[in-house]
Amino acid sequence: MAAPRPPRFDAAASEVARAAAAAPDWTTLAQVNRPCVACPELAAARQHVVVGDVPLAGRPRFALVGEAPGATEDETGRPFVGRSGALLDQLLAEAGLDRGEAAVLNIVKCRPPGNRTPKAPEVARCGGWLRRQLDLLDPPVVVALGLSAAKWFLGPRTVLAQVRARPHEVDGRAVWATYHPSAAIRFGPNGAPRAGLLADLTAVAGTLA
Ligand code: SF4
């Protein structure tokens, strides 16, 4: 199944897609992405556009794709560095995965006010940046963290419980959908999301060994 495309009538989404497609490499793409104001509400409230982290050199072994930056990410300009990021780092280590070998991205690069769920037009517009990031980085495996990211890759009717724990081929990549670390925090150390997230990351590590 192909990742969703922006609606044809959305001029801002088209402009993002055009600007992203013209970037020949990651550094240029990040430079063009940072001043983006395609979503006026998000652009007015953010401190940073959180473009994402990539390995220092070479192709990422896998990509982690979340929903959107939180408060700490907005302050620092880096993805998954708050409480969710700390738990993600811990579970990656337990699973035998090295964050330094991953691209760490979000489907929306600006923090939604109050950490609300991104709106459909915001997801559609920012999708132009993410599609180009994936084109340029070309990770063979993607881990979609949480339902919003899972829907971006697998379609709007996705039910997380029905798609997790196995890979799905999307545009030539193996896409795994699993819980977001924030759900693992919300349900506690003995909750199903934490165990499910660890199990899925461990399964991904097994495919990369
Ligand atoms: S969320 Fe994405 S598309 Fe919207 S303003 Fe931020 S960088 Fe641009």
For ligand 1, say whether the CB of 97 is within 6 Å of any of its atoms: no
Tokens 């923090």: give the residue. Answer: 111
- Note the pLDDT of residue 57: 87
Q: What is the model's pTM?
A: 0.95
Report the mean per-residue pLDDT for the chain: 95
For ligand 1, say whether the CB of 38 is within 6 Å of any of its atoms: yes
- Note the pLDDT of residue 8: 59
11-208 CATH, one of 3.40.50.1970, 3.40.470.10, 3.40.50.1110, 3.30.60.50 = 3.40.470.10
For ligand 1, say whether the CB of 12 is within 6 Å of any of its atoms: no
Classify the phi-psi angles of 141: left when phi > 0, otherwise alpha if psi is within -120 to 50, otherwise beta: beta
Tell me, in angstroms, the distance from the centre of ligand 1 to residue 144's CA: 19
For ligand 1, say whether the CB of 11 is within 6 Å of any of its atoms: no
Q: What angle do CA 55, 58, 64 make, to 5 degrees?
A: 45
**Range with the lowest mean pLDDT among 6-20, 90-104, 153-167, 177-191?**
6-20
Enumerate the β-bridge partners of residue 177: 144
DSSP 160-193: HHHHTTS-EEETTEEEEEE--HHHHHHH-TTSHH
- Note the pLDDT of residue 5: 58
Provide mean pLDDT across the span 26-38.
98
- Note the pLDDT of residue 24: 98
Tell me, in angstroms, the distance from the centre of ligand 1 to residue 42's CA: 7
pLDDT band at 4 (very low <50, low <70, confident <90, very high): low
CA atoms within 13 A on the CB side of 108: 31
- Note the pLDDT of residue 209: 75
For ligand 1, say whether the CB of 67 is within 6 Å of any of its atoms: no
pLDDT higher than threshold 90 for residue 180: yes
The tokens describing 160, both together, are 């997380």
- Note the pLDDT of residue 3: 57
pLDDT higher than threshold 60 for residue 169: yes
- 73-114 pLDDT, tens digit each: 999 999 999 999 999 999 999 999 999 999 999 999 999 999
